Amino acid sequence: MLGIGNFLRRDDAVGLDVVKRLRKRVPPNVALYECETVPENFIGPIEKSRPTHIIMVDATDMNTPPGEIRLVTPDQIVGLGVSTHSLPLSLFAQFMRQTIDAKVILLAIQPKNVDFGTEMTRELKSSARIAAETVLQAFSTRR
């Protein structure tokens, strides 16, 4: 699972927050990466872990109410507002699918405020908690 975002852009840190909430709570076969704005820097470690599935978690402008959570396929990423990254997530997802042959999905969370600052909004803190708990429930049903 890849937490993507920028701690200095308020709600853009939601992907990183979700991954932090999952630390020491996921099964040992689940790798967690805090990629910040450069998930491409983690290609080597991701390839080495040989995942069957990759979940990217990121703040994404979907023109929905703040805090809304959606699962987005790599084909649907194009056209969504994911702009704080040096490499578009659609290209990164495509590369991961082709290189690792893993199933890739984006857990997208609508931000409210991505201005400079370190405090996430109340809506996004709540969504990060819900997203982390939902992921944990999904892992526990797969055992």
Predicted local confidence at residue 92, as pLDDT: 86
Residue 79 confidence (pLDDT): 61
Tally Cβ neighbours within 10 Å of residue 141. 7
pLDDT for 143 equals 53
**φ and ψ of 24, to 5 deg:** 65, 15
Run of H or E residues at 2: strand 2-4
pLDDT on residue 72:
92
Write down the pLDDT at residue 54: 96
CATH number at residue 94: 3.40.50.1450
Calpha distance 96→84 (Å, rounded): 19
pLDDT along the chain (143 residues), means of 10: 96 97 94 94 94 94 95 80 66 87 94 96 98 93 64
Number of domains in the chain: 1
- Could you list the residue range(s) of the whole structural domain that residue 115 is in? 2-141
Strands (E) across 5-126 are located at 33-36, 53-59, 69-72, 103-109
